[in-house]
Amino acid sequence: MHTDVPFEGINFGSVPEEVDELLQAGVMAHRQDKAAADALFRQALALDPSALPTYFCLYKIHTYSGRLDQARAMAEAGLAEAARQAGWSGDWRLWLPRIPMRTGPADPGRFALYTLKALAFIALRDDRPADAAAILDALRQLDPQGEVGWPVVAELAEGCAA
């Protein structure tokens, strides 16, 4: 028996209220109308390009929908913004490990590493195993404990190579 469970929303952290409303509406729209969800997320991005969760929403929906070029573009834009907020180089190949890593979605450094992991996954899905391997090698150094979940992507990469 199907019961309607009310949508309680997602905690996107400390984003402006208008951005949160657009993100929540995009999440709700995603199941029924992916184009509407994309438009809502892009509206949130235009409203506040510094709100990192918006990039996450965009690269997630495009990855799941198989629009890997768009997913990659959104992930790269989110990575650049997170690196800027963290005070890091725009080139992830120049990043240095941080110990200890701060936790929580409000940490732009953690978001950057999580998005780097997403770029490795997108590279695998896009049949770019060398790109995925380079990113995963960097993540092994940057996040040796695997706190952002990159070991799962590394296992997928190993499975693809076998």
Domain membership of residue 6 (yes or no) is no
How many domains are contained in the chain?
Answer: 1
Q: What is the mean pLDDT of each run of 10 residues along the chain (162 residues)?
A: 58 92 94 94 97 96 95 98 94 82 72 96 95 96 92 88 62
pLDDT at residue 5 in the model: 46
pLDDT at residue 27 in the model: 94
Q: CA-CA distance, 79 to 76, in Å (whole number)?
A: 5
Domain membership of residue 8 (yes or no) is no
Q: CA-CA distance, 156 to 150, in Å (whole number)?
A: 10
Domain membership of residue 11 (yes or no) is no
Domain membership of residue 144 (yes or no) is yes
Q: CA-CA distance, 98 to 142, in Å (whole number)?
A: 7
Domain membership of residue 9 (yes or no) is no
Beta-strand runs (E) in 14-122: none
Domain membership of residue 4 (yes or no) is no
pLDDT at residue 159 in the model: 81
pLDDT at residue 101 in the model: 58
**Residues spanned by the domain of 84:** 17-161
CATH number, residue 60: 1.25.40.10
pLDDT at residue 155 in the model: 93
Token readout for 96 is 């240095």
